[in-house]
Amino acid sequence: MVVLADLVAELKMLRKGRGIFVSRIDERIGPSIREVCDVTAADGPVVIRQKITRWLENLVTELPNDLRVAVLAAFAICPDARMPLYQDRVGWAAKELDRDSRTVRRRVDDGILQLAQLATVRRSSAPRPGRAAEFGWHTGEVRVMLALDRPRPEAVEIRRIVADRDDLTELDLPVTLAAPDAGEFDIDVFYGGTLVDRGMESSARHGFALQLHRPLARGETQEFALHYRLPKRSMPPYFVCVPKRPCGTFDLRIRFDRTMPPQQVWLLRDAFERDVEDPVRSGDPRPVDSSGEVHAVFHNLIPGLTYGVRWD
């Protein structure tokens, strides 16, 4: 269990010196950061740095802009503030926010406290470890790359799952289409198992299963990759994940047509499924970059809630 005060203290320790770019980051972080960022004993400095960066970038989107700038500078995540000394990064943020350094230090402390509060609340609302065996397996990380700038929308999904019981041989992987009558869609396996088509399980949900090459024991991991080609008419103005099982990280990249980019894009986090099509826009605004791309990362997804991107 993550204790708020411990997490705050560890984050304040991490911001010192080069921040996340400290050479021995594995020695700088404590058990609270390791837990909320899903850092394992097998992770080296590069992976640890990536996990902490993704975790911070995900949570700071819920902070006010001034706290967001201060925190990203404090940990040297902002490219323009990757300076070797914490005091120099504070000075950079002071110029960006047009405030003095003392005020920025207070903003950093406030931001760190709010990040720790968000993390502990999400951790406490996540499914209890004791229920893991009920699911059989859970997702450690899933990365989806969706391309909308081609004749048919295409997506690549790379998923790492963790077995929660012994002798796990098959994964159920249903796919729900918003417009199931829009035409056929194709799904292929790049690696990681053999795909089995179970047919339509409902009017919108197509059932698939992935047969593994060998049985997994409890605690073992398996990575696989899938490639989807969707009918053009089946693509609604959103792409979301509604996990059935616990999910540690959902990393989503969407590439829009640069000649017709969406007017607005929102992130959906801890949302209800009906919010996806609600006429009242909700969620955090997210700009589309010069390549026509949007990138979003979500951590500690709660089964039954919705995570992803919607656009106009």
pLDDT per position as a tens digit, 91-104 = 999 999 999 999 99
Report the candidate in 96, 48, 51 with the shortest Cα–Cα distance to residue 71.
96
The average confidence (pLDDT) of the chain is 86
Stretch (H or E) spanning 268: strand 265-271
Q: Is the pLDDT of residue 281 over 70?
A: no
Above 60 in pLDDT, residue 42? yes
pLDDT above 70 coverage of the chain, percent:
90
pLDDT of residue 93: 95
Give residue 122's pLDDT.
67
Domains defined along the chain, listed by start: 4-125 (no CATH), 132-311 (2.60.40)
Give the pLDDT band (50/70/90) at residue 213: very high
Contact at 8 Å (CB) between 230 and 185?
A: yes
CB–CB of 260/312 below 8 Å?
no
pLDDT per position as a tens digit, 107-152? 999 999 999 988 887 665 554 444 555 568 988 889 999 999 998 8
**For residue 307, is pLDDT > 60?**
yes
Q: Is the pLDDT higher at 19 or at 126?
A: 19
Is 0.85 topped by the overall pTM? no
Per-residue pLDDT at 26 exceeds 60: yes
Confidence class of residue 203 from pLDDT cuts 50, 70 and 90? low
Structure tokens at 114: 């709010």
pLDDT digits (tens, 9 = 90+) for 75-93: 999 999 999 999 999 999 9
Q: Decide which of 254 and 274 is more confident.
A: 254
Strand partners, 307: 241
Q: What is the pLDDT confidence band of residue 181, given thresholds at 50, 70 and 90?
A: low
112, two tokens: 């760190």
Quote the CA–CA distance of 206 and 33 in Å, as a whole number: 38
**Residue pLDDT, tens place only, 164-173:** 888 999 998 8
Question: Which pair of structure tokens corresponds to residue 116?
Answer: 């720790």
Answer whether residue 29 shows pLDDT above 90. Answer: yes
Q: Answer with the residue of higher pLDDT: 122 or 249.
A: 249
What pLDDT shows up at residue 112?
94
